[in-house]
Amino acid sequence: MKIKTKLTLGIGTLFLMVFSLAALSGWYIHQLKKDTDRILTTNYNSLLYARNMLVSLEAYAEDDRAVLRFQDNLIQQQRNITEAGEKEKTADIAARFEEMKQGSADQILRSSIRKDITDLMQMNIEAIARKSGIAGQTAKDAIISIAIVGTVCFVIAFTLLLNLPSNIADPVRKLTESIRQIARQNYRERVHILGSSEFAELASSFNTMAEKLEEYAESQLDDILQNKRRIEALVENMSDPVIGADENRTVIFANEQATKILGLSQSALLGKPVSELTLHNDLLRDLFKDISSPSAGEEFSSTLKIFADGRQSYFEKEVVDINVVPTGENELKYIGQVIMLKNITPFKEMDLAKTNFIGTVSHEFKTPIAAIQMGIQLLQNDRVGKLNDEQKYLIHGIKEDSDRLRNITAELLNIAQVESGAIKLNIHDNEVKPMLEYAIKANQVAADQKQLSLHVSVDADVNKVLADNEKTAWVLTNLISNAIRYSHENAAIEIHVEKQGTRIRFEVKDYGQGIDSKYKERIFERYFRVPGARSGGTGLGLSISKEFIEGQGGEIAVDSELGSGSSFFFYLKEAK
Ligand code: ADP
């Protein structure tokens, strides 16, 4: 049955019951009123007339008006005949009264009139008693009928009270619960409401919707599963090891390369808490060392030395926090971390080979250069033979070049030493200007090729600097060479030296392409090159510069804005 019909019937029944109760009560009250009215208007009035007639009869002899009063009441009584025999009695009274009026006023006639009136009164008193009995019976009937109808109404109303609200509320509750299930993505939920009510229709529409959602979710799930498999295959086939952990630091994936270097199978890794795994695996401990969860929003990277593929390998560790915005929310939520290991062994090996090569070459150069210089010295000696001016000039030129060659060889050896981890510093009081001149001279040709103008300024209060002359000059050379390399043509490069407290600040400023802020720290790492930077570099220059400067107790940093240029600067102690 429809809800509307149910409600109409329920409320209609209640209305009908109220109406019937009211009608029944009204009817009985009316009946009772009729009974009492009958007593009042008929019998009570007859009693009143009879009494008045009696009083008038007593005063008949003394008072003339008594006759009139008697007659008046008699006429009223004649009009108010209601009981059986009352008419005859009234007629008797009237006949005797006529007699009395004719003049026979004897006692016998009077007493017979009195008796008739008393009979009339008795007749009406009996009628009153009878009628009040009827009224009492009507009242009883009323109580019984109203009680019966009232009880029936109560039972019906109580049944409605018990059933009607639950009849409406139960399906609503069922539907609400099912909608909640759907919201929890339980698309298998169905509502079963039988009948032809609106709720049954609603339930059937709900079921259709749930079915469609289920279909949709399944098709979506299929897509998602396929995408998941694709991504898994991608991660699995990556040549670098990748490990993923969720927000509770439980390993959720690890590709084949990762399992290989860790020496653990996937089943030993997946679903296990990192804290438990690190207890038995040193490499995992190293991998997760220093990584907080989440890593405070910073990308994290460092170099690790791992024994893999049967040899010593080098990996660059990169930790990336995974943050997503959950559906229906606005804020990013941390859901885990991915640790990627980039195999940099080939670069390391190349670098080592280069270092060794540089070391060997520069070492090998030392002897012939020393021989050349010895030869020059001999040539300059008058004992060997006198040189003319032109020859002297030429020999002087050869000596300068051989000196430069010797210095370069020494620098190359320095680089080799730095890279092999053994820097030898030679810190003394040094003039700033010769260092600058050396660095500028070494870069002049490159600067000229790009029509760059080098502006050098040294503040007047700059004295000597406490530094390793060669290495500081090397750093300056490297910074200027970078500035030239990353400047646009016809630009200016400013080289400025100033005193700041007890330190000397060297600055090389260019107006070239600049450096993205996220790479500012990383450019000082070995082999790091800004992605997309022009090729030709090794990514070593700045890291060697940093080692040279920090080795001397100094500090090196960069200020840069992408597109506007960079300013590299370093501080060294002022000589006392
Ligand atoms: P490279 O031999 O590649 O120049 P460096 O260690 O000297 O190696 O520099 C590291 C990276 O820093 C470079 O690849 C380049 O992207 C960036 N870089 C260095 N100097 C500058 C500069 N003056 N302007 C812009 N980028 C620079």
Query: Do 269 and 143 share a structural domain?
Result: no
Q: Which residues line ligand 1 (CB under 6 A)?
A: 482-483, 486, 510, 512-513, 515, 523, 529-530, 533, 537-543, 566
**Is 202 part of a structural domain of the chain?**
no
Query: Do 133 and 71 share a structural domain?
Result: yes
**Is 453 part of a structural domain of the chain?**
yes
Residue ending a domain, among 401, 420, 439, is: 420
Which of the listed residues 508, 542, 543, 559 should we mutate to test ligand 1's pocket, taking the one with most ligand atoms within 8 A of CB?
542
Among 9-13, 37-41, 296-300, the range scoring the smallest mean pLDDT is 296-300
List the residue whose alpha carbon is closest to atom 20 of ligand 1.
Answer: 482
* CA–centroid distance, residue 562 to ligand 1 (Å): 13
**Is 174 part of a structural domain of the chain?**
no
pLDDT of 514 reads: 93
Dihedral angle of Cα 51, 57, 58, 64, to the nearest 10 degrees: 120
pLDDT of 297 reads: 47
Query: Do 441 and 459 share a structural domain?
Result: yes
Closest to 403 measured CA to CA, from 357, 432, 438, 364? 438
Query: Do 432 and 410 share a structural domain?
Result: no
Query: Do 392 and 292 share a structural domain?
Result: no
Q: What is the pLDDT of residues 319-373, one digit of tens each?
A: 888 888 887 788 888 888 888 888 888 888 887 887 788 878 877 888 899 999 9
Query: Do 535 and 484 share a structural domain?
Result: yes
Over range 207-223, report the average pLDDT.
87
Residue 458's SS3 state is strand
Query: Do 462 and 378 share a structural domain?
Result: no
**Is 465 part of a structural domain of the chain?**
yes
Query: Do 397 and 339 share a structural domain?
Result: no
CA distance 375 to 139: 155
Confidence band, pLDDT 50/70/90 cuts, at residue 422: low
Query: Do 547 and 398 share a structural domain?
Result: no
Residue ending a domain, among 393, 420, 447, is: 420
Which of the listed residues 474, 475, 530 should we mutate to test ligand 1's pocket, taking the one with most ligand atoms within 8 A of CB?
530
In 10 A of CB 570, how many CB atoms?
26
Q: Considering the chain, what is the average pLDDT of its residues?
A: 87
First to last CA, the chain: 105
Which of the listed residues 482, 509, 516 should we mutate to test ligand 1's pocket, taking the one with most ligand atoms within 8 A of CB?
482
Query: Do 406 and 378 share a structural domain?
Result: yes
Q: Kindly report the CATH number assigned to the domain that includes residue 517.
A: 3.30.565.10
Alpha helix positions (H), 59-106: 65-79, 86-102
pLDDT of 192 reads: 86
pLDDT of 537 reads: 60
Instruction: Judge whether residue 527 has pLDDT over 90.
Output: no
Question: Among residues of the chain, what percentage have pLDDT more than 90?
Answer: 33
Q: Kindly report the CATH number assigned to the domain that includes residue 285.
A: 3.30.450.20
Which of the listed residues 452, 477, 515, 548 should we mutate to test ligand 1's pocket, taking the one with most ligand atoms within 8 A of CB?
515
**Is 129 part of a structural domain of the chain?**
yes
CA distance 330 to 344: 39
Residue ending a domain, among 134, 165, 196, is: 165
**Is 227 part of a structural domain of the chain?**
no
Instruction: Judge whether residue 557 has pLDDT over 50.
Output: yes
List the residue whose alpha carbon is closest to atom 16 of ligand 1.
Answer: 530
**Is 251 part of a structural domain of the chain?**
yes
* CA–centroid distance, residue 478 to ligand 1 (Å): 10
Q: What is the pLDDT of residues 426-482, one digit of tens each?
A: 899 999 999 999 999 989 988 999 999 999 999 999 989 999 998 899 899 999 999
Nearest ligand 1 atom, CA 544: 6
| DSSP line for 314-382 | EEEEEEEEEEE--TT--S-EEEEEEEEEEE-HHHHHHHHHHHHHHHHHHHHHHHHHHHHHHHHHHHHST
Q: What is the pLDDT of residues 376-395, one digit of tens each?
A: 999 988 888 888 999 999 99
Tally of structural domains, the chain: 4
Query: Do 369 and 313 share a structural domain?
Result: no
* CA–centroid distance, residue 482 to ligand 1 (Å): 6
**Is 23 part of a structural domain of the chain?**
yes
pTM, 2 dp: 0.40
Query: Do 360 and 287 share a structural domain?
Result: no
pLDDT of 506 reads: 97
Beta strands in 105-247 (DSSP E): 242-246
Domain range spanning residue 414?
Answer: 349-420
CA distance 219 to 425: 68
